[in-house]
Chains A and B, each alone.
Chain A
Amino acid sequence: MSHSSGQKFMTGAEIATQAAVDAGAEMMYGYPITPVTEVFTNWIKQGQKYLQTEDEIAAGFAVCGAAMAGQKAFTATSGPGHILMQDALSMAEGMRLPFVAIVAQRGGPSSGTVIYSQQEVTLACFGGNGEGLRLVYSPGTLAELYTLIRRAFNESWQYYFPAIVLTDGYTVKTRGLVDLENLKMENVVSAPLVVEGEIKHWPNIFTFEEELYSEVMKSKTDFDKITANIATAEEYQTDDAEILLIAHGIVGAATKVAVDQLRSAGKKVGLFRPITLRPLAAARLNNAVKKVKKIICIESSLGQLARIIKDELAPDIQVSFEYLQYPGLGIEIDEIVSRVSKF
């Protein structure tokens, strides 16, 4: 194997751990759950500070408390643990806490399967009793897993929204070549939200509906304001595309290869791959769909991505939709090529 000296052969879990270290994370609260346990155990093996809590609820609220004290803390979870984590994520959303979670999706509902799925999109983006004002990133590759974890810490501590890096067990358990030296970025510095010597009375429950309304609308305004800086997507072969394939995460990566194969066969297809699911790069999406005749949403769920896409399309856009949906199943390149060829 020939590769440059900066390249290393690493698992997704090792990359995730390294990203957290490089982001300046000081503390991890975790509870073991497949397929993301290795992120926790690798962190511990590196000699980093951690606590194994009694459940994901405690892990989540400990991250909230750490964030208030100004410490870069994070957690990692999946599936049923991700459900419990929504309690703390809701507090982080309401109180605008820099809360970072790495979520490796597994199949659902219920205990489901333990390695792979894309069925936690709705939960990550819109879980909780709020409005989904959180940052959700969907890495397609190992290198992107690294950069998006770095971004999650930076953007969470800069803009004070909870951040979820939404990956899956295939990505976390895959071993591949990455050159992390080329992916370095500056860190946003953390600062305490509760300062010693100050007297801050910080509510998250309100007497009047108008008080809560103004809190939510302020967050919504802030969220809209940062969308242009944060919303990211990859567009591939979209300039003359007649069919636009939309997929995220590793399905997005597989779809990109499928686009090349379909193009070789003369099919005018392109890819729109959201890298952030919240906020979505809606302006770019709406631009990319202008000239296409058809959109095909491809995902390992029964339409959790498709619903977000349809929600973000401008009302005047008329385009037909098709769906390739495999809840909880991995999607091979050949399958995408074979199915899309028929449209």
Chain B
Amino acid sequence: MPDFIPAKFCVGCGYPIILITLGRILEQKQLSKKAVMGLDIGCSLLAIDALPINIFHTHHGRVTPTMLGFKRARPNSLCFGLTGDGGAYAIGWQSLFHSALRDEPITVIVVNNTVYAMTGGQTAPTTLPRQKTDTNPNGYEGATFFGPELLRHVAHKDAYLVRTATNSPKEIAVYLEKAIATQQAGHFSLVEILSFCPTNWKTIGKATMDYVEDLKKVYKVGEI
């Protein structure tokens, strides 16, 4: 397990925190050999060399169906889908919703930075009211998307749905462990992680932390 992630992500990005945390858990639990991680296209694609496990790219919005196909073919594997909030909740929502409904035993990690970050910060389903983006330069006026809460309505009672943030790495570790245990028990799991995007938020230092804390006021962290 490397002590650092190759510097592909922007300075201050939250992804490396998530990936290092996941990598340590897999190493500690000796699950690296069984782990397979599919990457959605978006900032998630940059994780291709991040961990010493099998990793492959899929298409934008398609990581969930790809991983359920892999999991059903090889049930003893540990399947992760790493995706952004746009890939998960907009273009990939139909597949994500039905995978939760069918209780597919895979773990989807949704990195929520409230924008399409790779393409320069356009409005996502998770964009907050009044937030200014490239596609809502005068401020977003729509409603806000609560992925895990929506899935709770259709998911199996033993499916694991949770939200945390990149300024709480210990909590990320606890929740990822529970998500893995849920997959091993044969159920669907989704971990949404509110993640730093200083590039698109146009923040530095403490302002980035404050931004996440503000997000937490809207997107409640904890098990759902």
| A contacts, CB < 8 Å to B | 26-27, 29, 51, 53-55, 57-71, 73, 87-88, 90-91, 95, 192, 194-205
Of B52-60, B109-117, B140-148, B207-215, the one with at least 4 CB within 8 A of chain A: B52-60
Query: Nearest-CB distance from A285 to chain B (Å)?
Result: 35
Residue of B nearest to A29 (CB): B69
Cα A276 to Cα B95 in complex, Å, equals: 34
Task: Judge whether B170 is part of the interface by a CB distance below 8 angstroms.
Answer: no
Which residues of chain B in 38-59 are interfacial with respect to chain A, using CB atoms and an 8 Å cutoff? Answer: 38, 41, 45, 48-49, 52-59
Residue of B nearest to A71 (CB): B73
Task: Judge whether B172 is part of the interface by a CB distance below 8 angstroms.
Answer: no
Cα A27 to Cα B66 in complex, Å, equals: 14
Q: Chain B contacts of A55 at CB under 8 A?
A: 94-95
Given A68-B70, A69-B74, A87-B59, are A194 and B65 neighbors across the interface (CB < 8 Å)? no
Residue from A26, A61, A197 in contact with B33 in the complex, judged by beta carbons closer than 8 Å: A197
Cα A246 to Cα B65 in complex, Å, equals: 40
Residue from A54, A58, A198, A202 in contact with B56 in the complex, judged by beta carbons closer than 8 Å: A202
Task: Judge whether B68 is part of the interface by a CB distance below 8 angstroms.
Answer: yes
Cα A324 to Cα B218 in complex, Å, equals: 64
Task: Judge whether B197 is part of the interface by a CB distance below 8 angstroms.
Answer: no
Q: Chain A contacts of B69 at CB under 8 A?
A: 29, 61-69, 73
Query: Nearest-CB distance from B43 to chain A (Å)?
Result: 12
Residue from A51, A57, A200, A205 in contact with B54 in the complex, judged by beta carbons closer than 8 Å: A200
Q: Chain B contacts of A67 at CB under 8 A?
A: 69
Given A58-B95, A66-B70, are A199 and B52 neighbors across the interface (CB < 8 Å)? yes
Task: Judge whether B220 is part of the interface by a CB distance below 8 angstroms.
Answer: no
Q: Chain B contacts of A27 at CB under 8 A?
A: 72-73
- B95 to A57, Cβ gap below 8 A? yes
Q: Taking each of A29, A61, A197, which has the highest tally of chain B beta carbons within 10 Å of its own beta carbon?
A: A61
| B contacts, CB < 8 Å to A | 33-34, 36, 38, 41, 45, 48-49, 52-59, 62, 64-74, 77, 94-95, 97-98
Cα A29 to Cα B97 in complex, Å, equals: 17
20 A–B pairs (Cβ distance < 8 Å), ordered by A: A53-B98, A58-B65, A59-B65, A60-B65, A62-B68, A65-B38, A65-B65, A68-B66, A90-B59, A194-B54, A196-B33, A198-B54, A199-B53, A201-B49, A201-B56, A202-B54, A202-B55, A205-B41, A205-B45, A205-B57
- B56 to A194, Cβ gap below 8 A? yes
Query: Nearest-CB distance from B171 to chain A (Å)?
Result: 28
Q: Chain A contacts of B72 at CB under 8 A?
A: 27, 51, 62, 66
Query: Nearest-CB distance from A72 to chain B (Å)?
Result: 9
- B66 to A61, Cβ gap below 8 A? yes
Residue from A57, A65, A202 in contact with B67 in the complex, judged by beta carbons closer than 8 Å: A65
- 10 closest A-B pairs by beta carbon, nearest first, are A65-B69, A62-B69, A71-B73, A69-B73, A65-B70, A61-B65, A202-B56, A58-B65, A54-B98, A65-B66
Q: Chain A contacts of B74 at CB under 8 A?
A: 69-71, 192, 196
Cα A67 to Cα B72 in complex, Å, equals: 11
Query: Nearest-CB distance from B59 to chain A (Å)?
Result: 6
Cα A99 to Cα B70 in complex, Å, equals: 13
Q: Chain B contacts of A62 at CB under 8 A?
A: 65-66, 68-69, 72
Given A58-B64, A62-B68, output 10 extra A-B contacts at Cβ < 8 Å. A57-B95, A58-B94, A61-B62, A62-B65, A63-B69, A68-B56, A68-B66, A70-B73, A200-B56, A201-B48
Residue of B nearest to A200 (CB): B54
Given A54-B95, A201-B49, are A69 and B77 neighbors across the interface (CB < 8 Å)? yes
Query: Nearest-CB distance from A310 to chain B (Å)?
Result: 33
Query: Nearest-CB distance from A18 to chain B (Å)?
Result: 22
Given A54-B95, A55-B94, A199-B54, are A65 and B33 neighbors across the interface (CB < 8 Å)? no
Q: Chain A contacts of B53 at CB under 8 A?
A: 199
Residue from A64, A90, A201 in contact with B66 in the complex, judged by beta carbons closer than 8 Å: A64
Q: Chain B contacts of A63 at CB under 8 A?
A: 69
- A91 to B59, Cβ gap below 8 A? yes
- B73 to A91, Cβ gap below 8 A? no
Query: Nearest-CB distance from B200 to chain A (Å)?
Result: 20
